[in-house]
Structure 1
Amino acid sequence: MRRPDLSDVALFAAVVEAGGFRAAADRRGVAPSSLSDRIRRLERDLDLRLLHRTTRSVTPTEAGMRLLERLRPALAEIESAFDDLGDDTRRPVGTLRLNVPVPTARFVLPGLVPPFLARYPGVRVEVAMDNTHIDVLAAGYDAGVRYEESLARDMIAVPIGPRRQRFVAAAARAYLDRHGTPQHPRDLADHRLIGHRFESGKLAVWELECEGTALRVAPQGPLLTSSQDLEVGAAIAGTGIIYTFEEYLRAALDDGRLQPVLEPWWQSFEGPYLYYTDRRHVPAPLRAFVEFLREQADA
C-alpha cells in the first residue's frame, strides 16, 4: 500500500457526501472525469475498492464507509482551521452545513438564511432536509435542528424559529357536512383520518391535550403518506381530517378552505433548536450563524 495523497482523500469524502461524481465536481470546480481518476488513484494506492459505481448511483463500500467514519473528524478540523484563517468574526468564510427537519427548511430558514448570507458574503450554506434522528455530526454536518426531546445532553442548543408551535386538526367544510364534526378525540374513531408516515417507516401518532389530559390516536383512514403537501391537498379536497404543524395549514384555515376541529385539544410544544457539539474549534461560519440567531432573538 502506498501512502495516499491527502487531497485525494478529501475528494473521496466529497464524492460520498455529494452522492456522486458530478455533484462533487460541481462543488469543487473540477471535471467529473478528473475527479473519477483521482478516486481510482486513491483506490490503487490503498489497494482497496472504496466506491460502488453504477450508472445511477455512487455509494461507499464497507471499507470506504469505515475509512470515511475515521476521516470525517479530521477533515472537519482541517476545514475549520482554514475557515479560521479568514475569520475576524466580521468576515467569516467557508461552508455551513445544516441538517434540518422539513418544516424548519420550509417555514423557518427562508426568513433567516437570505439575510445571513447577505451579511456574510464569504459564507456558503448547504441545507439537507431530514426528519429522521440521525447523528448529523457523524454524517458530516456542522449543526442540526431538532426539538428538545431529540437533543443529546452533551450538545449546545440555540433557539431557532418560533418558541411555541402547535399541531392543529382541521377538515374541509364538505367533509364535516357529510361526516359531522368531532367534539372529543374519542369521536375520531368514527372518522376518516389522514395519516403521516415518517421516512423511517414509523407512523405519526396524534397526541392531543386538554386541561392536563393527554390522549394518543393512531390515525386510521383512506390516506397514509410521507408527503405533507399531499396530506394538506387531500384534506382541502374533503378526504378526511388532518392533524399537523399549524404552519402547513394556516393559509387554508385563514381563507376558509379548512375548518378547525377539536381546537381545545391542539397540542402546543416548544419550538426547535439549532444544536452542535462542544468542540474546541467551532467553524467560523457556524459561529457567525449562532451569533446571528442570538441577535434575531434579541431583536
Structure 2
Amino acid sequence: MADLQDIAAFVAVATHGGFRGAARITGTSASQLSEAVRRLEARLGVRLLNRTTRSVAATDAGRHLLEHLTPALGAIESALDVVNGFRDRPAGRLRLNVPLAASKLVLPRIVPQFLAAYPEICLEVIVEDRFVELLQSGCDAGIRYEEGMDQDMVAIPVGPRRQRMALAASPSYLAQHGRPRHPDDLRKHLCLRGRFSSGLMPQWFFERKGKSVTIETDGPLIVNLGAAADLAVDSAVAGAGVIYLFEEWLQPYIDRGELEPLLESWWPSFTGPSLYYPGRRYLPAPLRVFVDFVQTMRW
C-alpha cells in the first residue's frame, strides 16, 4: 500500500498546480514533494504528473486518482479530528485567507480573544487581496467583501455590517492646493492611488442622495493595496496628496488632526465582510469553534 505521506504530497501538488505552490501550503520543500511523487509513481508503475520547466499538470491517470483520493483524504482528516471531541479544549491548525483590510480592521478585534480562549489552536492568517478559491489555496475559511463564492460555501457576517470609504488630505496639502468641493474637482488634485495584486486599479466611487460619481484619478504615487497601503497613508499625512481608503483606517489620523476629511456627504457605504467556509456537514474542530466564536462577537 502506498505511503499516505506520498499520497498527500501528490494531492497537494496536483491541487495547487505545482511543487512550489504545494510546498508553500504544506510547509515542506518542493524537493521533498517531488521525491514523494516519484516514489508514488514508481510504486504504481504509472506517471501521475507531466512536468515541464514552467508547469506541472496531472496526467489522465493522475486526474482519475485525484478524483478518488480527495474525498478519501477528507474522510481520513475528519476521522482523525473526531479525537478533538475527547480533549478538554480543541486543538489543531486553522488557516484563514483574508484581504488586507480585514486583517487590519476586523481580525484585531477577534484574534487576541480567540487565541486566549483556545490556546491549543494555531491560527495561520494568509493576507491576500486577489480572489482565490479558498480550498484550493489550502485554507479552511476566508473573509471576503461581497465577492461571488461557490454555492456550497456558507457565509456569516463578521465585523461591522456597514462600512464607508473615506477621502482625506493633510492640512499642509489643503493649504497649498485647496479643498475639493465636488468629486469632479479631484481630477485636478494629486491623488494617492492603489493597485490590487491582480493589476486592477480601482476607480474612486462617490454617492449622495441617489447620485453616484466615479472618478479616474491621477497622482504621484501608486501602491500595492495588498502590502503597501500604509505607505499611502503616511504619504498623505506628509502632504503628498489626497487619499481614499476605508473610514476606519483613516479615522485615527483624522482624530489626531493629521488628516482632514473631505467631501464627507459623498462617502459611499457598503456591506461589511463575511466569513466564508465550506458548507459540509462535518467541520474540523478549530474551524467549528472559530465559527461559533465569531457569531458571539458584537460590533
TM-score of the alignment, normalized to the shorter chain, above 0.5: yes
Aligned to 2:121: 123
Residues in 2 aligned to 1:188 and 1:217: alpha-carbon distance in whole angstroms: 8
Aligned residues: 285
For each residue in 1:43-91, what CA deviation from the matched residue of structure 2 results, as whole angstroms up to 9, or x when unmatched?
Answer: 543554859799xxxx972239968974555434422321122126963
SS at match of 1:135: coil
265-274 or 119-128, which moves further after superposition?
119-128
Counterparts of 1:283-298 in structure 2, within 5 Å, are 283-297=284-298
Q: CA deviation at 1:152?
A: 4.5
Aligned to 1:138: 136
Task: Say if 1:147 and 1:271, in contact at 8 Å, map to a contact too.
Answer: yes
Distance 1:238 1:50, change over 3 A: farther
Gaps of 5+ in 1: 26-31
Residues in 1 aligned to 2:234 and 2:72: alpha-carbon distance in whole angstroms: 46
Distance 1:81 1:192, change over 3 A: same
**Letter matched to residue 268 of structure 1:** S
Aligned to 1:158: 156
Distance 1:52 1:212, change over 3 A: same
Aligned to 1:179: 177
Q: TM-score, normalised by structure 2?
A: 0.82
Residues in 1 aligned to 2:28 and 2:244: alpha-carbon distance in whole angstroms: 39
Task: Say if 1:87 and 1:93, in contact at 8 Å, map to a contact too.
Answer: no
For each residue in 1:232-273, what CA deviation from the matched residue of structure 2 results, as whole angstroms up to 9, or x when unmatched?
Answer: 121112111110112321221111111111111111112110
Task: Say if 1:207 and 1:214, in contact at 8 Å, map to a contact too.
Answer: yes
Aligned to 2:56: 61
**1:24 has 2:28 as partner:** yes
Q: CA deviation at 1:110?
A: 2.3
Task: Say if 2:84 and 2:90, in contact at 8 Å, map to a contact too.
Answer: yes
**Letter matched to residue 97 of structure 1:** R
Residues in 2 aligned to 1:132 and 1:34: alpha-carbon distance in whole angstroms: 28
For each residue in 1:14-38, what CA deviation from the matched residue of structure 2 results, as whole angstroms up to 9, or x when unmatched?
Answer: 87444288x427xxxxxx9877754
**Letter matched to residue 219 of structure 1:** T
Aligned to 2:256: 255
Counterparts of 1:100-111 in structure 2, within 5 Å, are 100-111=98-109
**1:230 has 2:231 as partner:** yes
Q: CA deviation at 1:187?
A: 0.8
Aligned to 2:186: 188
Residues in 2 aligned to 1:229 and 1:68: alpha-carbon distance in whole angstroms: 46
Identity of aligned residues (%): 45
For each residue in 1:145-182, what CA deviation from the matched residue of structure 2 results, as whole angstroms up to 9, or x when unmatched?
Answer: 11234444542111111222111000111111111100
149-158 or 130-139, which moves further after superposition?
149-158
Residues in 2 aligned to 1:74 and 1:171: alpha-carbon distance in whole angstroms: 56
Task: Say if 2:23 and 2:33, in contact at 8 Å, map to a contact too.
Answer: no
Residues in 1 aligned to 2:250 and 2:183: alpha-carbon distance in whole angstroms: 19
**Letter matched to residue 259 of structure 1:** E
Aligned to 2:112: 114
**Letter matched to residue 99 of structure 1:** N
Distance 1:138 1:260, change over 3 A: same
**Letter matched to residue 252 of structure 2:** A
**Letter matched to residue 113 of structure 1:** V
